């Protein structure tokens, strides 16, 4: 974060991020309305989240079902237009809880989870938007399906009656992310999938220029998180 940026108000940070998204979109010949900003509020308490809601932000991302279940119901009751995105790994035994709470799930990455989600969606009658997470840098410690497993996973989702809205990735840390974004965009085109959930605080402008439809921004909106509470 640039010096002084942590003293900015939530509304000022939000304006800055939105202006940068609009500028990157314009450079790529896209409209700012083509990009959904997800404020990743993991580890942040309601006192940090509320000012962003009051400044107009409606899309929020969490990486843990448990944390989101504890934090969001009261905020949502107060602000019904909020849309909640799950951006972290999902265990199959939490599929029902996730379907009940989230409007979008960005971490579909294996056949067993597709099956669990299909059952939960049928049972609840709720149908969150679903993104397939791709392990774009082939990193063993990260979630996401292998690039080679993507065609079968998409076919399995279709068979289970699940519409897939897009692909999601988290490029390897400490490398230039643009080639990974471009690869994800190519995979999405090849499979006829429209959504692209990619780009975080350090690289969302680059993602927007490579056709991201959803950017997931935490630190640039909230300031630095306490370390050691992340997990992917």
Ligand X SMILES: *Cc1c(COP(=O)(O)O)cnc(C)c1O
Residues that bind ligand X (CB under 6 A): 40, 42, 63, 87-88, 170, 200-201, 216-220, 232
Number of Cβ atoms within 10 Å of the Cβ of 6: 12
CB of 209 to ligand X, least distance (A): 17
CB of 217 to ligand X, least distance (A): 5
**Dist. CA 171–CA 216, nearest whole Å:** 13
CB of 218 to ligand X, least distance (A): 3
**Dist. CA 223–CA 103, nearest whole Å:** 25
**Which is nearer to ligand X, 29 or 231 (by Cβ)?**
231
> What does 48-114 look like in DSSP terms, one character per residue?
HHHHHHHTT--EEEES-HHHHHHHHHHHHHH-TT-EEEE-S---GGGHHHHHHH-SEEEEE-SHHHH
**Which is nearer to ligand X, 124 or 129 (by Cβ)?**
129
**Which is nearer to ligand X, 60 or 116 (by Cβ)?**
60
Residue number, nearest CB to ligand X? 218
**Which is nearer to ligand X, 57 or 63 (by Cβ)?**
63
Residue in the block written with tokens 């002084």: 4
CB of 204 to ligand X, least distance (A): 8
**Dist. CA 232–CA 55, nearest whole Å:** 28
């Amino acid at each position: 974060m640039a010096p002084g940026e942590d003293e900015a108000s939530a509304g000022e940070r939000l304006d800055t991020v939105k202006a940068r998204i609009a500028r990157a979109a314009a450079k790529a010949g896209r409209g700012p309305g083509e990009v959904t900003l997800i404020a990743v509020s993991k580890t942040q308490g309601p006192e940090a989240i509320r000012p962003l809601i009051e400044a107009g932000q409606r899309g929020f991302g969490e990486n843990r079902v448990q944390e989101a279940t504890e934090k969001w119901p009261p905020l949502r009751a107060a602000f019904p237009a909020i849309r909640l995105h799950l951006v972290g790994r999902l265990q199959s035994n939490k599929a029902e809880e996730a379907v009940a709470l989230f409007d979008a799930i960005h971490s579909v990455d294996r056949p067993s989870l597709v099956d669990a989600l299909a059952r939960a969606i049928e049972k609840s009658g709720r149908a969150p938007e679903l993104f397939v997470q791709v392990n774009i840098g082939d990193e063993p410690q990260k979630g996401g399906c292998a690039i080679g497993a993507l065609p079968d996973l998409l076919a399995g989702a279709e068979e289970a009656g699940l519409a897939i809205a897009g692909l999601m990735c988290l490029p390897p840390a400490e490398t230039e992310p643009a080639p990974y974004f471009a690869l994800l965009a190519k995979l999405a085109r090849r499979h006829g999938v429209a959504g692209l959930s990619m780009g975080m605080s350090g690289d969302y402008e680059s993602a927007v220029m490579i056709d991201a439809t959803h950017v997931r921004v935490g630190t640039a909106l909230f300031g630095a998180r306490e370390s050691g509470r992340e997990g992917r």
